[in-house]
Amino acid sequence: MKTFRKVLRYLAGIVLLLIGILTITLEEPLYGVGFLILGILLLPWTSSILSKKAPAVFSSKLQIALFIGLSLLIVVSVSLFGRKTYDKTENITPQVLSGLSKHPVKKARVNNLDYYYLEKGQGPVILLLHGFPDMANTWDETIAELSKNYRVIAPFLRGYYPTSIPTNMDFSVKSIAGDMVQLMEKLAIKEWVVVGQDWGASISYATANLAPNKVKKVVSIAIPHPTCLKLTPGLLFAGRHFLLFGTGNYGVRYTRKNDFAYIDRLYQRWSPDYKGFQKSSNEIKETFKFPHRLEAALGYYTSLGVDQGKPDIVAFYQKIPQVPVLFLVGEQDGVYTEDIVQAMNQKMPKGSKSVVFKNAGHFLHREVFADFMKELRPFLQ
């Protein structure tokens, strides 16, 4: 019986140690350390060492009390964080819309959703797609510059304020790419170039595959094509937010904690030298106070997990666009590796190009705007 209990304690201790490591990975180092301590306390050899080294301090009863007390502290604190609710009411009026950007905000009905988008200029069409945590006005500078020669359109993507949240909470990349194709059809646009950053980049690849005769070029910022991703330990660590956001309700609560402090951390982690990130961060955090808006934004991550279980969808995402691709990546972005850049150069179609920006990260279109435009303009022409 003693041997059986000892084995159970070892197994439980190892499980707690693994939970601790996972919790640290899920951006909760304090709780993770707590689980690690619990695991260490539960291991029989630890109890033996503590009892021998300091029997007066670490008696069996005290170890049990410490284990129970720390367990209760973790359970209570985890159950409480992120519970703050926001009662901010959406009020989509012309005045509110005009405050979202310095460019005109328009609306179209797309796939049973009210899609809001920025539009300016005349000429060949460029479709700009934002990522997370961001929205269409991230392109304000880009629109101001490109609209001198192009018709530029930048939608607030599905679920992002003020565009509608789908009732089925479908945020699949392929579904959103379908939104883009239908939006262009609604606007009677026959061909266009698509520029995307972060999730917008993933949607750009998918849009090119859905409308191969209409999308003429793709510009991908920060995110390589899926076939060029090599899951190294470094890349997995850089993308640990996928694991956090993929948990659903836990990810939502964690992101809400301390008035969305995690959003600021992501900006600083992904773009260490982006000094003006606070304006973008504050704007998107305000929209996350509206009902279900944060759940919608994180729904992109949970929908990706669902898509991975569908072989036909995975095959669609693996398809390489048959148009030139300009891949732009910041050297300070966690996704950047030389191997990924080489893979993009090898696998993308003729006329494609990859550019690595020094002293820039994930939001390079905001961080090094002039350098960004120097690469973008020649590719568009």
Of 30, 49, 79, the domain-final residue: 79
Q: Is there a domain that residue 360 lies in?
A: yes
Do 203 and 112 belong to one domain?
A: yes
Q: Where does the pLDDT of residue 14 fall: very low under 50, low under 70, confident under 90, or very high at 90 and above?
A: confident
- Residues 350 and 260 occupy one common structural domain: yes
Q: What is the pLDDT of residue 7?
A: 76
- Quote the pLDDT of residue 53: 59
33 pLDDT band (50/70/90 cuts)?
A: confident
Query: Which residue do the tokens 């698509």 mark?
Result: 194
One domain, residues 17 and 58:
yes
With contact defined as beta carbons under 8 Å apart, do 152 and 286 qualify? no
Report whether pLDDT(70) > 90: no
- Amino acid 283: pLDDT: 96
Residue type, 117: Y
Q: Rounded to an integer, what distance in angstroms lies between the CA atom of residue 299 and that of residue 291?
A: 14
The CB density around residue 35, as the number of other CB atoms within 10 Å, is 23
* Residue 91: inside a domain: no
Query: Of the ranges 11-15, 80-84, 292-296, 327-331, which one carries the lowest mean pLDDT score?
Result: 80-84
Average pLDDT over residues 80-84: 59
Axis-axis angle for helices 29-42, 60-80 (nearest 10): 150
| Spatial separation of the C-alpha atoms in residues 379 and 19, rounded to whole Å | 48
Query: Does residue 120 lie within any of the structural domains?
Result: yes
Q: What is the pLDDT of residue 10?
A: 74
Task: For Cα atoms 89, 93, 99, give the angle at the middle one, nearest 5 degrees.
Answer: 95
When pLDDT is cut at 50, 70 and 90, the band that residue 57 belongs to is: low
Whose CA is closest to 190, among 250, 257, 253, 127? 127
Q: How far does CA 326 lie from the centroid of its chain? A: 21
CATH code of the domain in which 184 resides: 3.40.50.1820
Residues 278 and 147 in one domain: yes
Q: What's residue 82's pLDDT?
A: 56
Q: And the tokens for 149?
A: 């020669």
Environment class of 231 (CB within 10 Å of its CB; exposed 0-12, middle 13-18, buried 19+): exposed
pLDDT at 108 over 60: yes
Does residue 367 sit within a domain?
A: yes
**Co-location of 50 and 135 in the same domain:** no
The predicted pLDDT at position 75 comes to 65
41: pLDDT strictly greater than 70: yes
Per-residue model confidence as pLDDT tens digits over 205-228: 999 999 999 999 999 999 999 999
Domain termination residue (choose one: 79, 113, 143): 79
Residue 238: band (very low, low, confident or very high) from pLDDT cuts 50, 70, 90:
confident
In contact, 310 and 304? CB cutoff 8 Å:
no
pLDDT digits (tens, 9 = 90+) for 296-321: 999 999 999 999 999 999 999 999 99
Q: pLDDT tier at 344 (50, 70, 90 boundaries)? A: very high
Tell me the residue length of the chain.
381
pLDDT band at 73 (very low <50, low <70, confident <90, very high): low
Q: What is the pLDDT of residue 330?
A: 97
Do 170 and 24 lie in one domain? The reply is no
Centre a 10 Å sphere on the Cβ of residue 102 and count the other Cβ atoms it contains.
13
What was the pLDDT predicted at 34? 75
- Listed range (35-44, 54-63, 94-103, 364-373) with the worst mean pLDDT: 54-63
d(C-alpha 57, C-alpha 142), whole Å: 65
Give per-residue pLDDT as tens, 143-168: 999 999 999 999 999 999 999 999 99
Q: What is the mean pLDDT of the chain?
A: 89
Whether residue 226 is found in the same domain as residue 361: yes
Report the pLDDT value the prediction gives residue 50, as an integer from 0 to 100: 61
Domain with 43 in it: 2-79
4-18: b or e for each residue (b if 16 or more CB lie within 10 Å)?
Answer: eeeeebeeebeebbe
Task: Encode 39-85 in three state secondary structure.
Answer: HHHHCHHHHHHHHHHCCCCCCHHHHHHHHHHHHHHHHHHHHHCCCCC
Please tell me whether residues 129 and 12 are part of one structural domain: no
In a domain, 88, yes or no: no
Mark residue 190 as left, alpha or beta (left: phi above 0; alpha: psi -120 to 50; beta: remaining): alpha
Q: Tell me the mean pLDDT in the region 267-292.
A: 94
Instruction: Please indicate, yes or no, whether residues 181 and 315 belong to a single structural domain of this protein.
Output: yes
How many domains in the chain?
A: 2
Q: How far apart are the first and last CA of the chain?
A: 78
pLDDT at 79: 59
Domain membership of residue 303 (yes or no) is yes
In this structure, is the dihedral angle defined by the CA atoms of residues 333, 155, 110 and 263, taken in order, positive or negative?
Answer: positive
Is 183 part of any domain? yes
Distance of CA 253 to CAs 271, 299, 310, Å? 24, 14, 28
> How open is the CA angle 207-318-172, to the nearest 5 degrees?
55
Token pair 């003006």 is at which residue? 276
Number of other residues whose CB lies within 10 A of the CB of residue 326: 23
Whether residue 352 is found in the same domain as residue 222: yes
Residues 213 and 297 in one domain: yes
Q: Both 13 and 47 in a single domain?
A: yes
Q: How far apart are CA 206 and CA 147, in angstroms?
A: 25
pLDDT at 136 over 60: yes
72 inside domain = yes
Q: What's the confidence (pLDDT) of residue 306?
A: 92
